A = this chain, B = another copy of it.
Amino acid sequence: MDFQPTSSLLTDLYQLTMAQGYFRMGIAERNAVFHLFFRKNPFGGGYCLTAGQAEVMEFLSRFQVTPEEIAYLKQLTGNDGNPMFTQDFLAYLEQLSLSVTVHAMPEGSIAFPHEPLLRVEGPLIQAQLLETALLTLMNFPSLVATKASRICTAAQGDAVLEFGLRRAQGKDGGLTASRAAFVGGAGATSNVWAGHTFGIPVKGTHAHSWVMSYDSEMEAFESYAQALPNNVVLLVDTYDTRIGIERAIEVGQQLKSNGHTLAGIRLDSGNLLELSIMARQMLDDAEFDQAAIVASDDLDEYKIERLKQKGAKIDTWGVGTRLATAYDQPALGGVYKLAALQDETGTWKGKIKLSENPAKTSFPGKLQVNRFYDSHGMMLGDQLYDEWHPGEIPVFSSSPHSIEQVLVPAFVNQNAVMPKRSIQEIQAYAAKQVHALPAGVASLVPDEPYMVHVCPNLKHHQQQLINQLSQ
Residues of A within 8 A of B (CB): 4, 6-7, 9-18, 20-25, 27, 32, 34, 69, 72-73, 76-80, 82, 84, 124, 128, 131-133, 135-137, 139-141, 163, 165-177, 190-193, 195-196, 202-210, 212-213, 223-224, 226-231, 238-239, 260-261, 263, 269-270, 321, 325-327, 330-334, 337-338, 341, 351-356, 469
**A–B pairs, 30, beta carbons within 8 Å:** A7-B193, A10-B165, A11-B191, A11-B193, A12-B166, A12-B204, A14-B204, A14-B207, A20-B228, A21-B206, A22-B213, A78-B228, A78-B229, A79-B231, A136-B168, A140-B168, A140-B169, A166-B334, A167-B333, A167-B334, A168-B173, A169-B176, A169-B325, A170-B177, A171-B176, A172-B172, A269-B356, A325-B325, A325-B330, A326-B330
Instruction: Give A115 Cβ to nearest chain B Cβ, in Å.
Output: 19
A18 B207 Cβ-Cβ under 8 A:
yes
Q: Do the beta carbons of B192 and A165 come within 8 Å of each other?
A: no
Task: Count chain B CB atoms within 10 A of each CB in A326, A327, A330, A352 and give the residue with the most.
Answer: A330
Shortest Cβ-Cβ A-B pairs, 6 listed: A172-B172, A78-B230, A170-B176, A169-B169, A13-B204, A14-B204
With CB as the reference atom, state the residue of chain B lying closest to A219.
Answer: B25
Q: Contacts A9-B192, A12-B190: A21 and B174 contacting too (C-beta < 8 A)?
A: no
Which residues of chain B are near A175, meaning CB under 8 Å? 170, 172
Q: A192: which B residues are within 8 A, CB to CB? A: 9-13, 16, 73
Number of copies: 2
C-alpha spacing A137/B173, complex, angstroms: 11
The residue on B at minimum CB distance from A355 is B269
Q: A9, B128: Cβ atoms under 8 Å?
A: no
Whether B332 lies near A167 (C-beta < 8 A) is yes
A173 contact from B131, B140, B207, B353, Cβ within 8 A:
B140
Q: Which residues of chain B come closer than 8 Å to A229, judged between CB atoms? A: 78
Task: State whether A212 touches B17 (Cβ < 8 A).
Answer: no
A354 to B239 CA separation, bound complex (whole angstroms): 7
Question: Counting chain B CB atoms within 10 Å of each CB, which of A133, A169, A209 scores highest?
Answer: A169
Tell me whether A190 and B140 are in contact (CB under 8 A). no
- Answer whether A230 and B331 are a contact pair too, CB < 8 Å, given A9-B196, A14-B205: no
Minimum Cβ distance to chain B for residue A290 (Å): 10
Q: How far is the CA of A193 from the CA of B136 in the complex (A)?
A: 13
- Of B17, B171, B193, B202, the residue contacting A228 (CB under 8 A) is B17
Q: List residues of chain B with CB within 8 A of the CB of A204.
A: 12-17
Question: Which residue of chain B lies nearest to A357 when distances are taken between CB atoms in the complex?
Answer: B269
* Chain B nearest CB, measured from A56 CB (Å): 11
Partner of A231, one of B17, B23, B133, B355: B17
- A205 contact set on B, CB distance < 8 A: 14, 17
Chain B residues within 8 Å of A165, by CB: 10-12, 132, 136
* Residues in B whose Cβ lies below 8 Å from that of A73: 192
Q: Decide: B228 and A7 in contact? CB cutoff 8 A.
A: no
A79 and B316 CA atoms in complex are apart in Å by: 15
Cβ-defined contact, A227 with B84, below 8 A: no
Query: Which residue on chain B has the smallest CB distance to residue A327?
Result: B330
Q: Complex formed: what's the CA distance from A224 to B190 in Å?
A: 49
Q: Are A353 and B163 in contact (CB under 8 A)?
A: no
Roughly how many angstroms separate A79 CA and B69 CA in the complex, as a whole number? 48
Known: A17-B206, A80-B261, A170-B172. 13 other contacts (CB 8 A): A4-B171, A10-B165, A17-B205, A72-B195, A79-B263, A80-B230, A84-B230, A131-B209, A169-B176, A172-B172, A172-B176, A209-B338, A325-B331
The CA-CA distance from A170 to B9 in the complex, in Å, is 14
